Structure 1
Amino acid sequence: MTDNPDQQNNTRGRLFSHFDNTDPSQHGPKWDELWRQDFHPWDKGSPNPAFIDVLNERQDLFEAPTQGRKRKALVPGCGRGYDVLLLAAHGYDAYGLEISAKALENAKRVEVEEKGKGIYATKGGIERGQVTWLAGNFFKGDFQEDVEGGTFDLIYDYTFLSALPPSMRPAWSKRMTELLAPEGRLVCLEWPTGKPASEGGPPWSLPSKVYKCHLQNPGEELPYDKNGDLKEANIGEQSNSTGLVSVAHFQPKRTFQGTGYDAEGNITDWIGVWKR
C-alpha cells in the first residue's frame, strides 16, 4: 500500500468495491482482473525485509537440510514471485502458486530479470534451488500433482490470508496442515494486525489471535462477533488433534515502511512460525 493517507483510502475503496457482493468462490478471477488492470498496490518490488532477516538470521527455526535431499518451499499467492526467488537463493526448491495467470507472467519476467542478483544471489556454500511456477487454486490442490510428495518443508504466508474473506479461514488453516511436511515449518508474516475488523477488506484485519486460533483448530468454524472480531475467549487453549504448534512468535526488527508501522513509528507486524 502507499504511504499517502488519501491514496491509501482510495486504494482500499477500490479493493473493497471490486470484491463487494462477490461470492468467495469467484474471487480468483477477480484477482486476475486486478493484475490485468496493472493494479497491485500490495506489490512492493521485493521480499519483505522481515522475511529476508528470518532466512538469514534464524535458521535455528527450520529443519536442517538433509544430505542429498532438497527442501521444498511453497509461496501461495506468490504474485511477482520475489519470495520464491529468495527461497531458491537459500537452497530450497521453491514453488510459487498463483490463481492469476497474469501474475505468473509477471513472475516469470521477474525471474529472468532478477535471478542471481542482489538479495537473490545464491548464498555461500548453498546449492541454488529450482524455481517452479504453479497455476492453480490453493484450496483444490490440483497443483500438488506437480510436486513430489505433495507437501512442503516450508510454507510462507504474507498477504495471502489477508486477501481471503474471514469465511475462508477454516479452509485456509486446514489446507496449511495438509500441505506442511511432517517436519516442516509454516512462516506467517502477520499483517495487518492493527486494522479494525469492522473496516472489512481486503486486506482483512489479522491480529495475531486469528493465526493462533485457526492454526490450532484447523478446519473448524470459530466464533466471531458482529464487528468481525474473533471471540478468542470462547475457543479455549487446547488445539484439536490436527492443530499446529507454535515454534516462535516475535516482532521483526524491520518490515515494509508505510504498512507495517503505526503513526508513532512502532512496528506492528509479527512473525509466527508453526510446526505439526
Structure 2
Amino acid sequence: MAGPDRAFWQERFETGQTGWDRGGPHPQLAAWLEAGLLPRDARIVVPGCGRGHELAVLARAGLEVTGLDYTPAAVEIARAKLADEHLPGRVEQADVLAWRPDQPLDLVYEQTCLCALHPDHWTSYAEQLQRWLKPGGRLLALFMQARREESEHGQVIGPPYHCDINAMRALFPQALWKWPAPPYTQRPHERGWFELAVVLERR
C-alpha cells in the first residue's frame, strides 16, 4: 500500500505524535451545525475519526454517528471518549477502502481521512464515498491545502497530502456531485496550512 501503513499511525497515537489534532472539534463543524446541515437522527460516518472529538459533538447533536479508523489505538481512544461522556455512537476499526455501511448514509464528515491517504488511493476512496451516501446525501469536506516547495518538482509529500481544489473537482466530478459556487470558507491550521470547507451533494 502506498503511503503510511497501520503501524505508522499506531505509533503516532501510542506516542502522542498527533500534531494534526487540535485537542477539540474542528470549528467548521459548529458552523455546519448552526447552518442546519446536520439534522437530528441523520446517519453520519466520520472516516479517520482519530480521537473522536467530532463524534462527541455529533452524538450530542442527536445524529446517529459511526466513527471509522484504521488504527487500533485511535479506535480505543475514541470509544473511551464516547463512553466517558455517556454518548451513543459506534467506533469501528476499519479500512475505509473496504468498509461498507449496512444501509446508505445521509452524511459523511470528511476532515482528515483524504489528506492522510496517499493520492494513489484517492480514486478508490472517492468511489467509496459515493457508494456510502444515498442520492441527495451530503459530503461535508475539509480539503487540506498543504502546498510544499518539493511539490513544485513533482514530489508527492505527506501526510498530510495537498488536496488541490482542481484535483478535488476531478476526483468528485460534477456528473456525480453537486458543487457549490466558490469562494469557499478557509479554516487555518496551526501548522501554517489551511482547509477549504466544501459541502458536496451526491447526485
TM-score, reference length from structure 1: 0.64
* Cα drift, residue 114 of structure 1: 4.4
> Is 2:35 the partner of 1:35?
no
Change (3 A) 1:114 1:209: farther
How far apart in 2 are the matches of 1:248 and 1:36? 41
8 Å CA contact 2:38–2:63 kept in 1: the answer is no
Deviations 1:130-164 (A, max 9, x none): 3111111111125x3xx4x1x21110111211111
In structure 2, the residue corresponding to 1:107 is in which secondary structure?
helix
Match of 2:114 in 1: 161
Q: Which structure 1 segments of 5+ residues have no match?
A: 1-22, 117-129, 217-238, 262-267
How far apart in 2 are the matches of 1:47 and 1:256? 14
In structure 1, the residue corresponding to 2:44 is in which secondary structure?
strand
Q: Which structure 2 segments of 5+ residues have no match?
A: none
Match of 1:252 in 2: 185
How far apart in 1 are the matches of 2:184 and 2:169? 15
How far apart in 1 are the matches of 2:17 and 2:166? 30
Deviations 1:11-34 (A, max 9, x none): xxxxxxxxxxxx338723332232
Change (3 A) 1:83 1:249: farther
% of aligned pairs identical?
23
- Rg (Cα) greater in structure: 1
> Is 2:159 the partner of 1:202?
yes
Change (3 A) 1:46 1:114: farther
Equivalent pairs, count: 198
In structure 1, the residue corresponding to 2:138 is in which secondary structure?
strand
Match of 1:275 in 2: 201
How far apart in 1 are the matches of 2:140 and 2:118? 20
8 Å CA contact 1:99–1:137 kept in 2: the answer is yes
Q: Which letter maps to 2:11? A: E
CA RMSD, Structure 1 to Structure 2 (Å): 2.5
In structure 2, the residue corresponding to 1:139 is in which secondary structure?
coil
Match of 1:226 in 2: none
